[in-house]
Structures are given as C-alpha cells and as structure tokens.
Amino acid sequence: MSREFDDVIALAREIPLNLPSPSRREEVRTAVLASHRLVRLPLPPTRRPRTTLSSASRMGVAIAGVAMAAAAVVLAVVIPRDRAAPAPHVHATITARDGARYTAISTAPDEIVRLEHGTIDVAVAPLHPGERFRVIVGDAEVEVRGTAFTVNTADDRLVSVDVHHGRVEVRPRQRPTTMLGAGEAWRAPQRAVARELLEQVEFELPTPTARPTRIERAISSPPSPPSAPPVIEPPARAAEELAYDEAWTAMRANNFGKAATTFARVMLLAPDSSLAEDAMFWQSVALARGGKRAQAVTAFRDFLDTHPRSPHAGEASAMLGWLLLDSGEKAEAARRFRAAANDPSKAVRDSAQSGLDSL
C-alpha cells in the first residue's frame, strides 16, 4: 500500500458501520437455509429425492405404506441424503394434527422445522452442546432444549405454545421473548387469535381423515368383486392443487411475497409433477413483481436450467433478460433475449426484440 494514502485509508476504516442485531442476523440465516432447501427441491430424476414432511396430506401418503391403523400420526423428521452418506442426526419426533403444514428445513446441529399452518406436537431428545432445535412460524420462533411441547399456528402466525415438560423460548416478532417451563403456555393476543381462526376457515386444507388420499383409499378399501358396479367418485383435489390456487389468489391480490412462498410450497408438495414446473415459473414471476430482483434472477435461471423445454421458457428468458439488462449484465441479457426471440407467442417475441434493441 502506498504510504501516501495511509491516512485516508485509516480514516475510511473508522467510518461507523451498522452491523445487524443478532436477531436480524438470525432471521437472514434462517431465510437462507429455508430458500436453500426450496431451491434444491426439483432434483434430477437420477438423484434420490429427499423425503420431507410438508403436509398432512403428504404424511398420509407416507403413512399408508407403514401403518394405516395408527390413530395418531407420529413421524420422525428424517431427510435422507445420498446412499453413501450416514443417516442425518435428528432429535425431534413430530406429531402433526389434522391439516398441519410443515417442512423440515435442516437437520442437526441446527434443526429447523418451518410450520406454516395448524398444530404440531413436538418431542425433542436432549440436545448436545452447540445443538439447536427451532420451530419457525411467519411471525415467531420457538426454540427448545430437550422438551415436549405443542405449537399451534394459523396462516403462518403463532397462536399458542403449550409446554409439557422441559423449557421453551418463544420469540414472537415485535413482542417480548418469553421463557416457558413445564405446564406453562403462551397465547397470542385474543384479537389476533380470533382473526386467525376466522382466516383459518379460508385456508384449511382437507386432511387425510376428512378425505382419504388415493393411496389410502386403495389400501383401506377391499377389492371390489368383479360383478360390482364401478364406484364413481369425484376426484379429490390434491394439496398441491389447493396450494397452487392459494398462490394464485395471493398473486391476484398483489401479495407477491405470499404468492412466492406458496408456489414454493407447491414444489415441495409435488416436486415431480407438471404443477411444480408451473409453480417454479410463477414463483420467479412473483419474486420479480415483489421487487426481489436478485432472487428473481436466481429463480428464473434455476427454472430455465431445470425446465429448458417448458412452454414458459421463452417468457422466462425474456423476463430474465429485462432483469439482467436493468442490472447491467448485458451479455447474458442478450443471450436470454435471443433465446426468447423465436417464442411462439408474439408478445414474448416483441418483448425480446425490444430488449435486443435496447442493448
């Protein structure tokens, strides 16, 4: 370094910096891990998919192969990896009540369960030093150290926590942190609960007990005799279809954050379906419309890498081109516009041409 500038550099190092509070840093960390999990969902078919537990409906499918007679659904949180890898270290046994929607985001030493809706009972084995177990809700975080407790949410908001034994820390956003012991409970303010219960009616998904899945029906029903007339039932709407509709409702209401999250849930619920392809595209659009430009760029790139022959590929290329053009990445923007220039849709072709002209 030239000594001529030593004093300027020393002064520049003294400029005070606003570094994040531990809780803000933790929020970002959790968001990174959650997004990482979602981005990796559409795995190529040669890889063994991770089985996470994301909804009561999916759980019903898992349970169908194991024990249909079980009255309560008890499932250990397991995320299998590649065959050669050792089994991941997990501490929690989760019992989902009807309609609960949750996802295991990470394993030990920092286990995170993302609970979006409904109630889960959690039993956590004693943790080793440095290990954590958390349940994250949209507006709160519940952290435990070797305990059993129940978390109840409605539409991504924490409604209540009941501790059966051990200790639990409840950290609602914009409200004070509460430490609960055995037999203690935390309740959201009454007005919020009433509002959430009202909203719950709108967002409730059909549960395996209320409406068995196709696999459950296949296993539990005795085979029909050859002479029996065929039973015609209206097809049950799958959880991913309902989530897809919910995402579109959010999209139409310009609630792009919720739309992006809910499209991501569709990908979680049905990673191999054609709906997942659509959901991935619309999640990218929702991110772009919600102003999350960097994430939208990543999402569009992922979409085009994963589904290069999608009917949405041209549109995605053109939209990605514009985002890249705005951020000064002209070379890639040009490549994306050129990829969209022969799209069957005239609107997409025109947009791509307009992008190329702007370059």
Partner 1 sequence: MSAKLIALRRVSGDAPVMSDEALLAACATGDSVALGALFDRFADAVYRFAARLLRNDDLACDDLVQSTFLEISRTAASFRGTSSVKTWILGVAANIARHTMRSEQRRRAHQAGFLEKQQSVPVLVDAQVERRQLLARIAEAIDALPRDQQLAFILCDLEQLPGAEVARILEVPEGTLWRRLHSARKALRAAVERSVS
Residues in touch with partner 1 (CB under 8 A): 1-2, 4-5, 7-9, 11-20, 24-25, 27-29, 31-33, 35-37, 39-40, 81-82, 85-86, 89, 105-110, 128, 130-131, 292-295, 297-298, 324, 326-329
Q: Which is nearer to partner 1, 38 or 205 (CB)?
A: 38
**Shortest Cβ 73–partner 1 spacing (Å):** 25
**CA 279/CA 207 separation, integer angstroms:** 22
Q: What angle do CA 79, 81, 86 make, to 5 degrees?
A: 100
Q: Which is nearer to partner 1, 31 or 210 (CB)?
A: 31
Spatial CB neighbours of 34, under 8 Å, sequence gap ≥ 6: 105, 112, 114, 136
DSSP class per residue in 97-145: PTT-EEEEEE-TTEEEEEEEEEEEEEEEPPPPTT-EEEEEETTEEEEES
**Shortest Cβ 50–partner 1 spacing (Å):** 9
Q: Which is nearer to partner 1, 171 or 195 (CB)?
A: 171
**CA 359/CA 357 separation, integer angstroms:** 5
DSSP class per residue in 147-173: -EEEEEEETTEEEEEEEEES-EEEEET
CB atoms within 10 A of CB 251: 20
Q: Which is nearer to partner 1, 68 or 334 (CB)?
A: 334
Q: Which is nearer to partner 1, 245 or 326 (CB)?
A: 326
CB atoms within 10 A of CB 232: 5
Q: Which is nearer to partner 1, 24 or 237 (CB)?
A: 24
**Shortest Cβ 111–partner 1 spacing (Å):** 10
CB atoms within 10 A of CB 210: 12
**Shortest Cβ 172–partner 1 spacing (Å):** 20
Structure tokens at 149: 């407790």
Q: Which is nearer to partner 1, 195 or 289 (CB)?
A: 289
The DSSP code for 245 is H
Q: Is 351 exposed, middle or buried (0-12, 13-18, 19+ CB in 10 A)?
A: buried
What is the amino acid identity at position 351? S
**Shortest Cβ 37–partner 1 spacing (Å):** 6
**Residue for token pair 């054609």:** 274
Q: List residues bridging with 76 in a β-sheet.
A: 93
**Shortest Cβ 219–partner 1 spacing (Å):** 33
**CA 117/CA 102 separation, integer angstroms:** 7
Q: Which is nearer to partner 1, 205 or 287 (CB)?
A: 287
**Shortest Cβ 106–partner 1 spacing (Å):** 5
**Shortest Cβ 84–partner 1 spacing (Å):** 9
Helix (H) or strand (E) holding 187: strand 185-187
**Shortest Cβ 297–partner 1 spacing (Å):** 6
Q: Which is nearer to partner 1, 40 or 237 (CB)?
A: 40
